[in-house]
Homo-oligomer: A and B are copies of this chain.
Amino acid sequence: MAVVKNVALTETAAFGLGTVGALVAQRFADLIAPLDLKPKHVGLLTLLSSSGAASQLDMARAMGVAPSLVVRIADHLERLAAIDRVRDPDDRRRQTLTLTKRGRELLATCTEITEYLEEEILDGMSASERRALRSALRHVAENLGPATD
């Protein structure tokens, strides 16, 4: 009876990253839910904040998501008055997205939430353990992300 082998499975970093990642994502989703935001909304706001104005197609590519999905995400953010959506006068096919004041406020709140979550997650870990984790995550992201060549 080869029962013992499976123990090893759940001890791998692969398994741990998958399950812990899902836990963290769910926790984040729960924390931002009262703001009427989903993770993808925050993703768009974050991208927009670091890139400045951008078209929906730009966002779709950066988020790795279909353009038709960006429509729905932007619809929602516009309803929340978090983004402005104006036709690019130089190319009237393009819809240019920009953060509004309200959008920056929401993003700031999400940043606070993330900082709170960060503490929750890393509670009880030493500074060097935290550094090691963040560094390992960067390493793994590089290993898995040949998509970003």
A positions within 8 Å CB-CB of B: 2-3, 5-25, 27-28, 39, 46, 49-50, 104, 107-108, 110-111, 114-115, 117-118, 120-125, 129-130, 132-141, 143-145
A20: chain B residues at CB < 8 Å are 17, 21, 137, 140-141, 144
Known A17-B21, A133-B136; contact A143-B124, beta-carbon cutoff 8 A: yes
A64 to B132, CA, bound (A): 31
> Do A137 and B50 touch (CB < 8 A)?
no
> Do B111 and A140 touch (CB < 8 A)?
no
> Do A140 and B122 touch (CB < 8 A)?
yes
A108: chain B residues at CB < 8 Å are 5
> Do A143 and B121 touch (CB < 8 A)?
yes
